[in-house]
Structure 1
Amino acid sequence: MASNDANGASDSRRLRLGVLISGSGSNLQALIDASESGHLPGVEIALVVSNVAGAQGLQRALKHKLPAMYLPWRHGQSEEQLADLLRLFQVDLLVLAGWMRILSASFLAQFPRRVINLHPALLPDDGTETTYTTSSGTHIPVFRGLHVVQQALDAGVPVTGSTVHYVTPEVDAGPVICRQEVAIEPGDSEETLHERLKVVEHRLIVEAVKKVPERGIF
C-alpha cells in the first residue's frame, strides 16, 4: 500500500480505496455514490476485488468503470496475490464490505491500521469486550462471526446495530471507528431486520472512510 514519504508528498493526492466484496456490493455502491456525488472529497476507489466470480458487486464496479477483478481464494496463496494487487494499485485503505473470508495475522501485519470492516452488530469501543452497553443502558451480548443478525433475534435483545472497526487477527474484535444502534421491532425476521441494517451500513461505511484519515492515520 502507499505510504507518506518524508516530505509528505502523498498528502496532495487522493486517498485510494481498495474494496473487498463477496456478494451484491450494496455497500460498495454506497461508496461509489458518495464518491461521485462529492460526499467523499479527496477519495477514489482504486480497486474492487471479489472472491466470488459471479458477485453482483463486480458488475456494479464495472458499470462505473472501476478496476475490478475476481480472485479465487486458495489457502496460502490468495493473500499473497491480494497484497501484490494492493501495492500495484497503490491502495491506502482496504475496506471489507461484505467480504466473507478471514484475513490472516501475517497479511494484516503488512498493512497495520489500513484495513477496516463493516460488521452487522454492535461492537464495544476496544472491540474485545463480551458485552455492549446500549444508549439506554441495557447490557447485551456482543455478537461476532457469522449470522449475527439471527443471533440477535434468537437472543431476544431489544436493539442491535452496525459497526465499522479496524481489522485485527481476532475476528470482529478491532477498535471501533463508528457504529449505530437499530431497534429490533416485534415480528422482525432476519430478512426484515437485515434490510433496516443495510440502510445504516450504507451511511456508516462512508462515515468511516471519512474518519480514518481525519484521525491522522495517513
Structure 2
Amino acid sequence: MLRIAVLTSGRGTLLRYTISACYDGVVDGEVVAVATNRDCPALDVARKAGIDTTASYPQSSYGSLAERDAVMAADVLEAGADFVLVGGYTDVLDAAFLKHFPDRVISVYPTILPAFGELDESIGPALDYGVKSLGVTIHLRDPHSLSDGPIIAQIPIPVEVDDTIESVTPYIAAVEREHLPLVMQAFAEGRVLREGRKVRVVAPKRRAS
C-alpha cells in the first residue's frame, strides 16, 4: 500500500484524482500529506478530505531551497509518507527532499519530454512551434529540475493546427486522470524497476481462472 504525499501549487486537480483513485480502490494507497509552496486552493481540498498533514512551505520563509525541502521532507515522513506525487508544483526539488524517497517521487509533465521541458507553461510554446502531438509524460523527479528524470510512461495526444491551450487542456487532463493511477498502482505492486536512465514497468500477473 502506498502512503502518498502530494506536492502541488494550484487548484488541486491531481490531488482530487488521487484521493478518488485511492478511495475507489483503483490505487492501493492513501494520501497522508499535502504540501504546497504557497497558499492555494489545493490546501482547502486536502483539509476537506480530512488529510491531517496539510501545510504550505513558502521558500521565502527559509534560508535556502535545501533548508525548506529538508523541513518539508521531515514533515511528510512524520505523516508516514513513502511515495510522493508532484502535480502542478512550481518549484524544483532539492536533493535534501529527494534523498528520503529514492525512485519514489514521480511528476507529471504535459508534453512528450524531453521536448519543451523546464517551462512554467509548456503547452503554448509547443503549439506555437507547430507540433503534431502533445502528450503526458510521467517521470521520476531529478533534483533542481522541473522536467528531467527517468521516464516511466508517455501518452501522446494528437493536435491540430488550430488547437489552443484551452482546447487541448481537457484532453491532457483526461489522459492524466486515466494513466496516473495506473502508474501509481504499478508502484504499489512493486512493478516499477529502474535501470539507470531507463524505467521498466512490468505487466501485472494474470490471475488464475
TM-score interval, smaller chain:
0.7 to 0.9
1:137-192 superposed Cα distances (whole Å, 9 cap, x missing partner): xxxxx120122101210110100100110011363221122221111123211222
Of 13, 24, 27, which residue of structure 1 is paired with 2:14? 27
Say if 2:34 and 2:51, in contact at 8 Å, map to a contact too.
yes
Is 1:100 the counterpart of 2:63 in the alignment? no
| TM-score between the two structures when normalised by the length of structure 1 | 0.78
Is 1:116 the counterpart of 2:106 in the alignment? yes
Residue 59 of structure 1 is matched in structure 2 by 44
d(CA) in 1 for partners of 2:112, 2:134: 6
Assess, with a 3 A threshold, how the Cα gap between structure 1 residues 179 and 216 changes in structure 2: closer, same or farther. closer
Deviation at 1:86, TM superposition (A): 2.1
Deviation at 1:79, TM superposition (A): 0.9
d(CA) in 1 for partners of 2:59, 2:174: 29
Percent pairwise identity: 28
Q: Which runs of 5+ in 1 are unaligned?
A: 1-13, 124-129, 131-141
Q: Which runs of 5+ in 2 are unaligned?
A: 194-209
d(CA) in 2 for partners of 1:170, 1:59: 28
Of 195, 198, 211, which residue of structure 1 is paired with 2:170? 195
| TM-score between the two structures when normalised by the length of structure 2 | 0.82
SS state of the match for residue 178, structure 1?
strand
Deviation at 1:205, TM superposition (A): 1.9
Is 1:210 the counterpart of 2:197 in the alignment? no
Write out the 4+ residue segments of structure 1 that deviate beyond 4 Å after TM superposition. Answer: none
- Tell me the C-alpha RMSD between the 2 structures: 1.7
Residues matched between the structures, number: 185
SS state of the match for residue 30, structure 1?
helix
